[in-house]
Each structure stands twice: as C-alpha cells, then as structure tokens.
Amino acid sequence: MGRDEIIKAAASGKDMDRDQLMKLAASGKDMPAGLLLTEAMLFQATAYLYGRYNAGLIDLEQAKRDKQMIIETYNRAAGIE
C-alpha cells in the first residue's frame, strides 16, 4: 500500500496494520481517530522517533534500534508474538 492509499485508508476509517500506521506517523500526518490504545501508542512513539531523528537528536543507528524496540513493544502489547 502506497503513501496516498495509507492516507485514504486513515481518512476512511479502514483498519490499518502496524506498518501502515508507522508510515503514516513517519510522514507527519495527523493521528487517525478511533485507534486502539496500542495503535495510538505505536503512532505517537513512531512520530516522536522520526521527529528526534529529523531534528538531529539521534543518529540513524540509534533510530534503527529505537524503532525495533517500538515494534517489539507494540507486538507484545497487541498480543502479536
């Protein structure tokens, strides 16, 4: 699913998977309404991570480690493991 399709899905209220939510957050878009708590936390953590990276507060390697930790935490909280 491309970026435009992700934004359309968010606007239409369709279910989005983890990767789609992360792409939406990384692109700086508003958080979609109606997310579960785990999804909202994933969205906000991802947006914060990209903001820190884009501001030069962390390097790429740290951003990769943080992203992996965000994904692992989300998977545990969402019962995906």
Q: Where are the domains of the chain?
A: 3-78
Measure the CA–CA gap between 29 and 10, rounded to whole angstroms.
10
Q: Quote the distance between the C-alpha of residue 46 and its chain's center.
A: 4
pTM: 0.80
What is the structure's pLDDT at 11? 54
What is the structure's pLDDT at 3? 52
Measure the CA–CA gap between 34 and 15, rounded to whole angstroms.
10
Give the chain's radius of gyration (CA, Å): 13
- Spans in the chain with pLDDT lower than 50: 1
Helix axes 60-78, 37-54, angle to 10 degrees: 180
What is the structure's pLDDT at 42? 97
Six-digit token string for 47: 């947006």
